[in-house]
Amino acid sequence: MKHSAEFAKIVGEGKALGYLDGRACFCAGPLPGETALVEVVKAKKTFLEATMLEVTKTSAHRGDAREEHFRLCSPWQGVDYDYQLELKRGMLAEIFGRPELKLKVQDLVAAPEQFGYRNKLEFGLYTSNDGRLELAFHARGSDTNMVPVPAGCVLGSAAMNTAALAVVERLNELEVGNAATSLMVRESGMDGQLLAVVGLERRLKRDWGRLQIPEIAGVVVSQVRPGHTHERLWAAGETSLRELVGGVELRYPFDGFFQTNVPAFELAFERILPAVPAGARVVDLYGGVGAIGLPAAKIARSVVGVEVHAVAAEQAAANAARAGLTNYEAVATPAERLPVDALKAAEVVVLDPPRAGLDRRVVAALLETAPQRILYLSCNPVTQARDIMMLAEKYQPGTVTGFDFYPGTLHLESLVALERKA
All domains in the chain, ordered by first residue:
2-60 (2.40.50.140), 105-112+253-420 (3.40.50.150), 120-241 (2.40.50.1070)
The string of pLDDT tens digits covering residues 314-334 is: 999 999 999 999 999 999 999
pLDDT at 131: 85
Q: Do 221 and 201 contact (CB within 8 A), yes or no?
A: no
How far, in Å, CA of 237 to CA of 88, rounded?
41
Q: Pseudo-torsion of CA 398, 404, 410, 411, nearest 10°?
A: -60
pLDDT at 130: 86
Q: Which residues of the chain have pLDDT under 70?
A: none
How far, in Å, CA of 295 to CA of 311, rounded?
20
Tally of residues, the chain: 422
Closest CA to 184 of 269, 278, 252, 120: 120
DSSP 335: G
Residues designated as active site: 379
Torsional sign, CA 76, 127, 202, 237? negative
pLDDT at 225: 80
pTM of structure: 0.95
Q: Do 303 and 293 contact (CB within 8 A), yes or no?
A: yes
Q: Are strands 395-403 and 35-43 parallel, antiparallel or unpaired?
A: unpaired
How far, in Å, CA of 154 to CA of 134, rounded?
17
Closest CA to 402 of 88, 183, 163: 88
How far, in Å, CA of 207 to CA of 217, rounded?
18
